[in-house]
Amino acid sequence: MSVMTVGEGAGLYEMVKGIQRRYEADGQPRPELLYVDRGCCGADYRIFRGWPDMPVRLDVWHFMRRLARGCTSTEHQLYRFFQRWLSACIFAWSADDQNQLIAANRGEQRDQGIAETSDDVILKHLGKSSIARHCRRVTRGMEETIQLIGDLLACLDGEGGLDTIGVPLFDSDRVWEIWDSQQRHIACLQDPPDVQLYTKIGELVKGGITLPVYRRARGSTSPESFHLHMNRFIPGKFMSYIT
């Protein structure tokens, strides 16, 4: 269900009440988990007051965009590298899933008479989309992520973040100020332990091993695509961004 409103914050209360009434009327339990792009924690606003025990998480893409505001430009040569590593500071591939995928590919190579290669070489050739089909990602936990992001920022601050013409990736004061204020949300990025975030939608046999095919339910990618679509189909001179 999608609801389009002209307001945010308190402007959404009636819409939220309506959703909760529909769940109640239908005898459905509350959703297991809610992803938001703001207002994840703290006392500013929790609009889903009717479901006080529902876990609320911050969408990782939005969190990454907040940190990216500390960059001098999204066109900087190191910007994409920074975003990729930021994501890797938050998520790790499930080692079991990855080992199974490697074993399947090694089996396939053996069947084709190809000489054995290392795990790293196999992973490199697989590409991200193939890994994402068969492997689940898990959050690394608060402590590790705080440490890794701090290290990444330190590594790309100053000298390490200069491009070929000497432009720094970060506005140094700004990026550390943002990190100071955003660190408390690392807790809001962690997967709740009891919620199943992947659905198995199929399987395929490779190298004699049956591999599951997964679909991810984490985050707010599908509403984001819808926002992008709305942004394009609603004509308007001043509209450039909808969140």
* List of residues contacting Zn ion (CB under 5 A): 40-41, 185, 188
Contact predicate 188/40, CB 8 Å: yes
Q: How many CB atoms lie within 10 A of CB 108?
A: 16
Show the CA angle centred on residue 136, arms to residues 134 and 139, nearest 5°: 160
Nearer to Zn ion among residue 40 and residue 135 (C-beta): 40
Nearer to Zn ion among residue 45 and residue 226 (C-beta): 45
Provide the minimum distance between the beta carbon of 121 and Zn ion in the complex, in angstroms, as a whole number.
40
Nearer to Zn ion among residue 43 and residue 115 (C-beta): 43
Give the chain's largest Cα–Cα span.
Answer: 64
Helix, strand, or coil (residue 36): strand
Nearer to Zn ion among residue 90 and residue 104 (C-beta): 90
Provide the minimum distance between the beta carbon of 173 and Zn ion in the complex, in angstroms, as a whole number.
23
Contact predicate 67/82, CB 8 Å: no
Q: Which of 144, 135, 132 is nearest to 95 (CA)?
A: 135
Round to whole Å and give the CA distance between 240 and 216: 29
Return the amino acid letter for 44. Answer: D
Nearer to Zn ion among residue 133 and residue 185 (C-beta): 185
Nearer to Zn ion among residue 40 and residue 153 (C-beta): 40
Provide the minimum distance between the beta carbon of 150 and Zn ion in the complex, in angstroms, as a whole number.
18
Provide the minimum distance between the beta carbon of 126 and Zn ion in the complex, in angstroms, as a whole number.
34
Provide the minimum distance between the beta carbon of 58 and Zn ion in the complex, in angstroms, as a whole number.
5
Round to whole Å and give the CA distance between 38 and 20: 20
Provide the minimum distance between the beta carbon of 104 and Zn ion in the complex, in angstroms, as a whole number.
38
Round to whole Å and give the CA distance between 218 and 91: 12
